[in-house]
Amino acid sequence: MNRTDRTLADGRRIRYYDDGPDPRPRNREDPRDLTPTAAVTDIRHDPLTGEPVVIAAHRQDRTHKPAADHCPLCPGRPDAPGEIPEPHYDVVVFENRFPAFAGGQGRAEVVCFTDEHDTSFAELSPTRVRTVLDALADRTAELSGTDGVRQVFPFENRGEEIGVTLHHPHGQIYGYPFVPPRTARMLEHARARLTSHGTHPLGDLLAAERADGTRVVTRGRHWTAFVPPAARWPVQVLIVPHRRVADLSELTADERDDVAGVSLDVLRRCDALYDRPLPYVAGWHQAPTVGDREAAWLHLEVFSVRRAADKLKYLAGSESGMAVWVNDVTPERIAENLRDTRPGR
């Protein structure tokens, strides 16, 4: 993987990550006449729970479902310049023009997985997935040293049912200026388990799932993918490394190669589940940048709102109002369905 840094017309940084080790010329200038977006992030806290809420009103003006020939994530053309000036690219990361976090309060970046518009992450080659992983690890390491960033969360939203407004295969990286509530709860639970038993809850869960096998979807040399025993979503898979690491930057080359294959297997099974592209969220749970790193265990979580070929799960009163989940599908059936699929490629 080779990285080249450039600057967009409004001063934002763009980073090209190429599949091979040899540098490629990345000298195309951004032809647009852009001024920096007036981005202001207001972080408020719920007075009843203390949980943070991010107010980013400038995002109301972000690009919304453009035509394919005006996609801002496709390679730039003279008649349709977008966010990426180069005519071809492998993987690109750039600062979001309409960020959720701005003004020194965190970071928000966009990750483009390929310059091909009409494809998906599941259709990428293992080599390209490895480049994506290397890029995410690189960004995790750099953002972890950035003032005001407390946790780095790389994720992909896929499908209009999830709320995606740009169909080009891409993800995002949030550098939260606080430790998000779910991470804080997982760390609290892990600390308690480490104190009382001397073991990590995710490590215990991983060992139990590997031994039982009922909820295992697929395995690699260094990673296992399984449905959690208390799955909230009608499709939900955890992809967990056999060795405890805090974040992506700590993975070895072999571990990165292995998870590239395992994650592709899982996503291809997801698309084969209903013989149609599955809407999903895929997010990397990583350690905070400061403190509690020993209580964290890196893992990738994939989940979907689709509960049947023609039905979606909507978050109603119990889930949205009380954060108490009701799942219509058993975790064992979810795993069985995914194992029984015939993934393409």
Q: Which amino acid is at 173?
A: I
- How many domains does the structure of the chain reveal? 2
Pairing label, strands 91-95, 223-226 = unpaired
Contact predicate 37/167, CB 8 Å: no
The CA distance from 119 to 121, in Å, is: 7
pLDDT of residue 297: 98
Helix (H) or strand (E) run with residue 14 in it: strand 13-18
170 flagged as catalytic:
yes
Selected catalytic residue, list 58, 64, 170, 189: 170
Residue 62 has pLDDT above 80, yes or no: no
Which phi and psi (to 5°) does residue 22 adopt?
Answer: -85, 135
| DSSP single-letter state for residue 18 | E
CATH number where 25 lies: 3.30.428.10
Is position 344 within any domain?
A: no
- Last residue of one domain, picked from the residues 181, 204, 227: 181
Question: Which H or E run includes 142?
Answer: helix 126-144
Residue 47 within any structural domain of the chain? yes
| Domain limits for position 128 | 2-181
Give the whole-angstrom CA distance, residue 133 versus residue 333: 30
Does residue 105 sit in the same domain as residue 169?
yes
196 and 297, same domain (yes or no): yes
Q: Verify that 93 and 227 share a domain, yes or no.
A: no
Task: Give the H/E segment covering residue 152.
Answer: strand 151-158
pLDDT tens digits, one per residue of 171-229:
999 999 999 999 999 999 999 999 999 999 999 999 999 999 999 999 999 999 999 99
Q: Are 223 and 258 in contact (CB under 8 A)?
A: yes
Residue 43, C-beta contacts closer than 8 angstroms, at least 6 positions apart: 52, 53, 54, 55, 105, 177, 178
* Among 13-22, 79-88, 186-195, the range of highest mean pLDDT: 186-195
Q: What are phi and psi of 3, to 5 degrees?
A: -115, 135
Say whether both 237 and 331 belong to one domain: yes
pLDDT single digits (tens) 249-284: 999 999 999 999 999 999 999 999 999 999 999 999
Residue pointed to by tokens 């109002």? 321
**Of 181, 201, 236, which closes a domain?**
181
User: Do 199 and 137 fall within a single domain?
Assistant: no
Residues 121 and 221 in one domain: no
- Would you say residue 105 lies in a domain? yes
In a domain, 242, yes or no: yes
